[in-house]
Amino acid sequence: MLATVAGGDRPAGAVVAVATAKRAARSGAIWGALFGLLVANEALTYKTNFPTAESRATAVAAGASRGLTAVIGPAREVDTLGGWLAWRTFGLLVIVGAIWGLLAATRLLRREEDAGRWELYLAGRTARRHAAVQGLAGLAAGYLTLWALTATLTVYGGSRPAVDLSVSASLFYATAVTASAAMFLAVGALAGQVGGTRRQANGLAAAAFGSAYVIRMIADSGTGLAWLRWASPLGWVENLQPLTGSRPLVLLPILALTVTAGGAAALVAGRRDLGAGVLARNRTAQPSLRLLGGPVVLTAHLERWVALAWTVGLALLALIFGVTAATVGDTEGGTGSVEQAVARLGGRAAGPTAWIGYEFVFVSALIAFAAAGQVAALRGEEAAGYLDNLLARHVSRERWLLGRLGLAVLFVAATGIATGVGAWIGLTTGTSDVTLVAMIRAGLNAALPGILVLGLGALLYGLAPRAAAPVLYSLILWSFLIEIVGSSITTNHWLLDTAMLTHLGPVPAADLNWTAAAWFTALALGAGAAGLTLFPRRDLSSA
């Protein structure tokens, strides 16, 4: 009979898989819903965005941009719905999926080992290799959740009469757009076995992703080196060509890499010591105490790379949005339905200004996701027992939480400014007259929902810490759905007002709503103050 986990009746032979699957599935569900909503929205709005042959020529002009081609891949048949969908969302989601995969793998496997929790798993009858296989099974559950939600919403959008994509085409698109996530989950798992720490694992996985991306960019740069796509896993995904001449046989190398990397991770896990890696830890570096002078600077030390990754990543995404707005918005007829959508959201601008205002709704949702991640990090430190060590010293609960929230606010605001600057740089490639000051204002406007999320997160953390992150992620997804889809199908202001994003205009296509900004700030401050009051009055809660 299998050994059981102390205090429960779950077989020890499955405890690692179940624990990993729960966390991976939550993350996969969040990003799968976001992927699916973006794809469905693009599919449902294509014919209204480009109703005539002249307006579809706008799409062709956008696809001809060499800079965008290098960043997100070549445009094929972009004057058709399938071609536009394959180009407009595919390249971006492939990149996001790969980054999600490598970070999820190192977080759910290597970080758990670094924190000492794998010692408990392996104290019984579970061998290291068996535990690694279970961890890989848990990651697979997260990927399947990501794929299922992406596929469901893609099929829904594709089945609408205005879109009319076959179920098989929609399913293949969902499989292609999430293929990079599967590959880099396996690559991240292998990096976690090779690296001696999670930081080393992240560096190895990031190097693998960066190499694949650079090779793919060179192949798509118009230099006659298109064959180089076969030298990059991201190039393989691009060669699937969903909706524009699908090539399912290209799934074979993708599957081979995923299985090979996962199998290698299991083999290495069985041959190394717990807490070690194939690469030795760097034991020669001198300790740095510059960021260990208190709870606030400790938080800055722990969260600096996460914050930098979000800030730089969203700034680059905003730059791509700016280039797209400059290219599409400069062409007559290219922003017809976008201007209508902006008008429904309270804007009144046209051309590139309308387009970038509409795109910043997406940016706002992503910044809110980053803010929710900071609240999840609060809960993670408490669950892992790190907070007990801090509070056992001369650190009060209020001081710790206030410092964490203060740094999170600075991070969200800095990210908003970075996205505004990035979008402005992209807009300068066209004839847009949007100023840098206007785009910085737009970035700060996009950061306001993130500030509110931090305040609500503090309140939820003080009341029910386990529920804080799920409630926040659900709120953001609901707001995004209502903002993007709901405003197109209903005028019920009671329903629309349940979404955070509907209360803020699509700046710079609309003037900044100072009243809404003041309300958002006041609610965030009030909820944050309530959280600071409630947190010291509850017991700490472990995982």
Mean pLDDT: which of 1-10, 105-114, 331-340 is highest?
105-114
SS3 assignment, position 129: helix
Residues 305 and 262 in one domain: no
Residues 207 and 317 in one domain: no
pLDDT at residue number 485:
61
Non-local (6+) Cβ contacts of 465 within 8 A are: 378, 379, 382, 538, 541
Phi, psi of 11, deg, nearest 5: -60, 140
In the chain, the percentage of residues whose pLDDT exceeds 70 is 83
Instruction: Tell me how far apart the alpha carbons of residues 356 and 322 are, in angstroms, rounded to a whole number.
Output: 6
Residues 367 and 498 in one domain: yes
> Tell me: the pLDDT tens digits for 462-504?
999 988 988 898 888 888 777 766 555 555 566 667 777 778 8
Q: Using the 3D structure, point to which of 217, 251, 279 is the last residue of a domain.
A: 279
Out of 166-180, 389-403, 450-464, which region has the weakest mean confidence (pLDDT)?
389-403
What would the mean pLDDT of 192-221 be, rounded to a whole number? 84
8 pLDDT band, cuts 50/70/90, is very low
Residue 230 has pLDDT above 70, yes or no: yes
Non-local (6+) Cβ contacts of 42 within 8 A are: 84, 85, 88, 89
Residues 410 and 271 in one domain: no
Contact 329, 352 (CB under 8 A): yes
What would the mean pLDDT of 414-422 be, rounded to a whole number? 95
Contact 408, 454 (CB under 8 A): yes
Non-local (6+) Cβ contacts of 118 within 8 A are: 112, 131, 274
Instruction: Tell me how far apart the alpha carbons of residues 490 and 502 are, in angstroms, rounded to a whole number.
Output: 13
Instruction: Tell me how far apart the alpha carbons of residues 494 and 55 are, in angstroms, rounded to a whole number.
Output: 35
Asked if residue 97 belongs to a domain, the reply is yes
Q: Using the 3D structure, point to which of 213, 248, 279 is the last residue of a domain.
A: 279
Residue 7 has pLDDT above 50, yes or no: no
Instruction: Tell me how far apart the alpha carbons of residues 393 and 37 are, in angstroms, rounded to a whole number.
Output: 46
Higher-pLDDT residue of 402 and 48 is: 402
Q: Using the 3D structure, point to which of 229, 255, 279 is the last residue of a domain.
A: 279
Out of 9-13, 81-85, 451-455, 526-530, which region has the weakest mean confidence (pLDDT)?
9-13
Residue pointed to by tokens 């958002």: 520
Residue 410 has pLDDT above 90, yes or no: yes
Across all residues in the chain, what is the average pLDDT? 82
Is the bond preceding residue 508 a cis peptide, omega within 30 degrees?
yes
Residues 360 and 434 in one domain: yes
Residues 328 and 433 in one domain: yes
1 pLDDT band, cuts 50/70/90, is very low
Residue 5 has pLDDT above 50, yes or no: no
Residues 261 and 351 in one domain: no
Residue 141 has pLDDT above 90, yes or no: yes
Out of 56-60, 148-152, 191-195, 262-266, which region has the weakest mean confidence (pLDDT)?
56-60
- Closest alpha carbon to 236 in 207, 264, 256: 256
341 pLDDT band, cuts 50/70/90, is low
Asked if residue 428 belongs to a domain, the reply is yes
Residues 344 and 400 in one domain: yes
Residue 249 has pLDDT above 80, yes or no: yes
The total number of structural domains that make up the chain: 2
| Tokens (6 digits) for 232 | 């990059």
Asked if residue 543 belongs to a domain, the reply is no
What would the mean pLDDT of 412-429 be, rounded to a whole number? 93
Helical ranges in 195-294 per DSSP H: 198-219, 233-239, 251-269
What would the mean pLDDT of 391-407 be, rounded to a whole number? 85
Residues 308 and 406 in one domain: yes
Phi-psi region of 337 (alpha: psi -120 to 50; beta: other; left: phi over 0): alpha
* Residue 491 neighbours by CB distance under 10 Å: 9
Q: Which domain holds residue 137?
A: 12-49+93-279
Higher-pLDDT residue of 332 and 232 is: 232
Residues 471 and 323 in one domain: yes
- Closest alpha carbon to 59 in 91, 89, 88: 88
Higher-pLDDT residue of 10 and 244 is: 244
- Closest alpha carbon to 102 in 167, 168, 186: 186
What would the mean pLDDT of 300-308 be, rounded to a whole number? 79
| Tokens (6 digits) for 139 | 């990651």
Asked if residue 307 belongs to a domain, the reply is yes
Contact 183, 257 (CB under 8 A): yes
| Residues in a beta bridge with 4 | 11
Asked if residue 70 belongs to a domain, the reply is no
| Amino acid (1-letter code) at residue 307 | A
Asked if residue 542 belongs to a domain, the reply is no
Higher-pLDDT residue of 520 and 394 is: 520
Asked if residue 72 belongs to a domain, the reply is no
pLDDT at residue number 362:
82
| Residues in a beta bridge with 11 | 4
| Cα 169 from chain centre | 25
> Tell me: the pLDDT tens digits for 500-542?
777 888 889 888 889 999 999 999 999 999 999 999 998 887 6
Residues 109 and 226 in one domain: yes
Is the bond preceding residue 233 a cis peptide, omega within 30 degrees?
no
Asked if residue 211 belongs to a domain, the reply is yes
Record the pTM. Answer: 0.72
| Cα 407 from chain centre | 20
> Tell me: the pLDDT tens digits for 20-45?
999 899 999 989 988 998 888 888 87
Residue pointed to by tokens 């798509």: 220
Residues 298 and 447 in one domain: yes
